[in-house]
Copies of this chain bind each other. A is one copy, B any other.
């Protein structure tokens, strides 16, 4: 963890301060408190829900509206077969140990990290035997009662359930939204009018049954994931949108440095990263640049963002090249907010193999190609006397068989078996034949940017958090601020409240997120608004009644300008679209 990076506004522990504020003002809190709580589940309150939606909508704006990616929605509960095929049932596991005395269970890698200073990166490489050895060597015992541990075992971190009334029908809560996209590839390809490249995003709930969740919003059992799968032809890997981001810089910590335990950041432009083959896919580089833009919009300055190239043993089982986008957090240091995996044809290939459906796409050659190909020709005259009524079927099976496999079998064993029918050399001919091929079928390649919505949310909170004159001010970025405008009558008498409600209605009608507040002194109301991060405060005073004007107050500078009521909708629209600044709102 790098020590040079420091936050501008030091608080004792920002994580604690942010969480305290979040709970108090209803951004989010730990769920089910009245029942003693349930680790790994959070509830978003009114302000939090709106902030989270704004972040997700910003993501939609960048990827769906601007990049043209399609959105879809599938189910959280997923039939077991899907995650067997995808490799999750085999790989989505964590090493767990159980205390022999108190039977409490712990994540072994967390114990190693905490009590033996073995990093998660190192622990990930270990086998169960090595984990056990490391626990013993370091004399690690149960943190609760000091007891020893039973041998470590792998714990499947998917939630398991049964679909329908039959006990055999296992279902899992999806740990990612990606598989929901892959299994529907054929329909999505058709929705994309059978043209590559195209992308599909799914923003939805995902579940991971963590052994011991911790770190608040950073490691939840239920969370919102935004998985974007971008499909392209590996023979045409160019990104036609690259020119829009090619001068954007990507701060990367390279594998070669990380292997030497060095965390130095190298800065490449998107173009350089591709030319130097640091990033292998143009689309992957494009999405990394877009991810940086997203985080900037959420309020994280460029120098608090970086990408780390994943080491071979850190990568998920499906990825050939992976980068994690990280943001610097005060308590936890560099923390992953998005993953960028080059999944190639792994997932579609797995599902094809598991279910037999053809998930390849057809690519027409510019000109049809004439090739010579071996084919199996069944000799029906010889097959007839042996297979009688079934001759037709056997013939058909043989003509579909792989000629090389048949040839090898006949040479090696003297016979070949297809679906239980045994045939001999005399029954078939392997001949070379001319075929005209109009095109070919192939499995598209995939790059995947994947964002954790709850982490983006936490990052937005931490980077908005600041102290001014001993008061908390949540300086949310203008594009995600949960409440855009607060409307306050100076007093609740003399018709000021009615006038203020009129302004509020006008702004709600114009589509703004508005809050009305008439309780307490105007100073207290401003303070309350700053804590909730309300961007602008509109105050209706006695002059408003005479001149039809209001004051507008800026949350961050506390400056005020005066403006005509009738111009507010248009001015505010321009302001929130960042076309004008606060000073342009009035005099």
Indicate if A190 sits at the interface (CB-CB under 8 A). Answer: yes
Chain B CB within 8 A of A384 CB: no
Instruction: Give the distance in Å from the alpha carbon of A189 to the alpha carbon of B391 in the complex.
Output: 78
A332 smallest CB distance to B (angstroms) = 22
Counting every copy of the chain, the complex holds 2
Contact of A77 among B159, B186, B187 (CB under 8 A): B159
Residue contact A163 to B205, C-beta cutoff 8 Å: no
Flag A155-172 by CB within 8 Å of B: 1 or 0 each.
100011111111000010
Contacts A23-B187, A46-B200, A76-B205 known; 5 new A-B pairs at CB < 8 A: A42-B75, A46-B71, A49-B71, A96-B165, A105-B166
**CB-CB < 8 A to A79: which residues of B?**
32, 35, 38
At the interface, yes or no: A296 with Cβ under 8 Å from chain B? no
Which residue numbers of A lie inside 8 Å of B, CB to CB? 23, 25-26, 29, 31-35, 38-50, 52, 65-66, 70-79, 81-82, 96, 105, 155, 159-166, 171, 173, 180, 183-184, 186-188, 190-191, 193, 200, 204-205, 207, 209-212, 221-222, 351, 354-355, 357, 359, 508, 513, 519
| Residues on the B chain within 8 Å of A162, using CB | 159-160, 209
The 30 listed contacts between A and B (C-beta, < 8 Å) are A29-B187, A31-B180, A32-B82, A32-B183, A34-B183, A35-B79, A35-B183, A38-B79, A38-B163, A39-B164, A41-B75, A41-B77, A43-B74, A43-B75, A43-B184, A45-B187, A45-B191, A49-B73, A50-B71, A65-B508, A76-B76, A77-B173, A77-B207, A105-B165, A159-B161, A159-B171, A162-B209, A164-B221, A165-B211, A193-B519
With A160-B161, A188-B45, A508-B66 known as contacts, the answer to whether A31 contacts B74 (CB < 8 A) is yes
A221's contact among B45, B48, B77, by CB below 8 Å, is which?
A: B77
How far is A204 from B203 in the complex, measured between Cα atoms in Å? Answer: 12
Give A512's nearest chain B residue, CB to CB: B65
CB-nearest residue of chain B to A356: B34
* Cα distance, A354 to B32, chains bound together (Å): 13
Which residue of the partner chain, among B35, B96, B164, contacts A82 with CB atoms under 8 Å?
A: B35
Report the minimal beta-carbon distance from A309 to chain B, rounded to whole angstroms. 33
**Which of B42, B46, B508 touches A70 (beta carbons < 8 Å)?**
B46
> Are A357 and B34 touching (Cβ within 8 A)?
yes
Which residue in chain B gives the minimum CB-CB distance to A79? B38
Structural contact, B163 and A209, CB atoms closer than 8 A? yes
Asked whether A26 lies within 8 Å of B191 as measured between CB atoms, the reply is yes
- Rounded to whole angstroms, the CA-CA distance of A120 and B186 in the bound complex is 39
Q: Within 8 Å CB of A38, what residues of B?
A: 79, 163
A71 CB contacts on chain B under 8 angstroms: 46, 49-50
The residues of B that contact A82 with a CB separation of less than 8 Å are: 32, 35
How far, in whole Å, are A519 and B193 apart by their CA atoms in the complex?
A: 10
